[in-house]
């Protein structure tokens, strides 16, 4: 296998996004660039200079249709519905001709990929929401502790990890994944003016944004190519990042991902 540079990694991620965009347009599925990808498009015209991944979000209904129907000769959906050994509570689309070796306890071998996040209803502040958040926070904490490999952890984290394995021996990563996915959809049967990406192991009470943001869509260029995004870009990014036009301090301008990327040789 040939190890890839960051530039080569980005080129492959961009090709995946192009194919996902094409499929969504042809099948009338809603999606939007999200998180740092939309921030990068709005502030830099493409990747944030120190970033190395791509995120998109979809309303839950479109997300479910997408992961059930996406088809491509060498790109595939990774999700709990497709692969039992895939342990994350949201989907990815990866290039099967590559290998993405990421620091994680999951043994699933993914190709270079982009993240696909479902958007679910988020209840208005209430005792029920507080109870939901407390449950979700516990699941998130246990998942985060268990997903990080033991051998690469500092001693204090190893002690914490050992404690959680002893306290919750039956909460395997697979069960935690399923519980997080189920918990994320708890409020979907109730109309809500707030939505958010809740199928991640890092949910906070301020991660929601008005559902009206996800009603209108436009286009924005990312690396010179037009992709779909929410029309209210400024409003969305302000909810996510506050003053998103301001660059972070120099010491924060670093990637947070630990990985090695390879291209398989035929």
Per-residue pLDDT of the chain (266 residues; tens, 9 = 90+): 899 999 999 999 999 999 999 999 999 999 999 999 999 999 999 999 999 999 999 999 999 999 999 999 999 999 999 998 999 999 999 999 999 987 665 678 899 999 999 999 998 888 999 999 999 999 998 998 888 776 656 667 667 767 777 778 888 999 999 999 999 999 999 889 999 999 999 888 888 999 999 999 999 999 999 999 999 999 999 999 999 999 998 888 887 777 889 999 87
Separation of alpha carbons 115 and 86, rounded Å: 13
Separation of alpha carbons 208 and 113, rounded Å: 25
Supply the mean pLDDT for the chain: 92
| 221's tokens | 């260029």
Whose tokens are 């990406």? That residue is 197
| 15's tokens | 């090709």
223 CA to centre of own chain: 20
Per-residue pLDDT at 154? 65
Distance of CA 132 to CAs 124, 185, 216, Å? Answer: 12, 11, 29
Residue 239 near residue 214 (C-beta atoms within 8 A): no
Domain limits at 226? 2-120+211-263
Q: Point out which residues pair with 115 in neighbouring strands.
A: 55, 92
Question: Is 101 within a domain?
Answer: yes
Per-residue pLDDT at 146? 82
Question: Is 37 within a domain?
Answer: yes
Separation of alpha carbons 53 and 57, rounded Å: 14
Residue 67 near residue 116 (C-beta atoms within 8 A): yes
The DSSP symbol for 97 reads T
Question: Is 104 within a domain?
Answer: yes
Question: Is 134 within a domain?
Answer: no
What is the pairing mode between strands 113-121 and 55-59?
A: parallel
Question: Is 163 within a domain?
Answer: no
Per-residue pLDDT tens for 12-63?
999 999 999 999 999 999 999 999 999 999 999 999 999 999 999 999 999 9
Q: Could you give the number of structural domains in the chain?
A: 1
Separation of alpha carbons 42 and 221, rounded Å: 8
Per-residue pLDDT at 157? 64
Question: Is 205 within a domain?
Answer: no
Q: How large a percentage of the chain has pLDDT more than 70?
A: 94
Question: Is 234 within a domain?
Answer: yes
Please provide residue 38's backbone torsions phi and psi, each rounded to the nearest 5 degrees. Answer: -70, -35
Per-residue pLDDT at 153? 60
* Cα Rg of the chain, angstroms: 18
Separation of alpha carbons 183 and 166, rounded Å: 24
CATH number at residue 254: 3.30.460
Distance of CA 226 to CAs 18, 42, 46, 183, 238, Å? Answer: 9, 12, 11, 34, 22
Triad 260, 204, 115: Cα angle to 5° = 35
């Amino acid at each position: 296998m040939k190890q890839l540079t960051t530039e080569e990694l980005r080129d492959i991620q961009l090709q995946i996004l192009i194919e996902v965009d094409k499929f969504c347009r042809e099948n009338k599925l809603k999606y939007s660039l999200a998180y740092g990808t939309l921030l990068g498009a709005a502030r830099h015209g493409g990747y944030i200079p120190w970033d190395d991944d791509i995120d998109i979000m979809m309303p839950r209904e479109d997300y479910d249709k997408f992961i059930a129907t996406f088809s491509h000769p060498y790109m595939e959906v990774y999700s709990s519905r497709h692969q039992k050994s895939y342990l994350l509570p949201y989907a990815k689309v990866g290039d099967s001709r590559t290998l993405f070796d990421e620091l994680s306890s999951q043994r699933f071998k993914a190709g270079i990929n982009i993240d696909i996040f479902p958007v679910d209803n988020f209840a208005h502040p209430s005792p029920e929401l507080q109870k939901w958040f407390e449950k979700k926070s516990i699941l998130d904490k246990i998942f985060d502790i268990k997903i990080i490999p033991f051998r690469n952890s500092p001693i204090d984290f190893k002690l914490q990890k050992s404690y959680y394995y002893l306290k919750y021996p039956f909460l395997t990563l697979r069960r935690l994944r399923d519980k997080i996915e189920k918990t994320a959809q708890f409020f979907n049967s109730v109309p809500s003016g707030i939505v958010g990406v809740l199928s991640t192991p890092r949910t906070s009470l301020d991660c929601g944004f008005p559902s009206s943001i996800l009603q209108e869509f436009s286009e924005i260029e990312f690396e010179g190519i037009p992709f779909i995004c929410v029309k209210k870009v400024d409003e969305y990014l302000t909810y996510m990042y506050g003053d998103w036009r301001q660059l972070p301090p120099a010491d924060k301008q670093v990637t947070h991902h630990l990985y090695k990327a390879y291209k398989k040789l035929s």
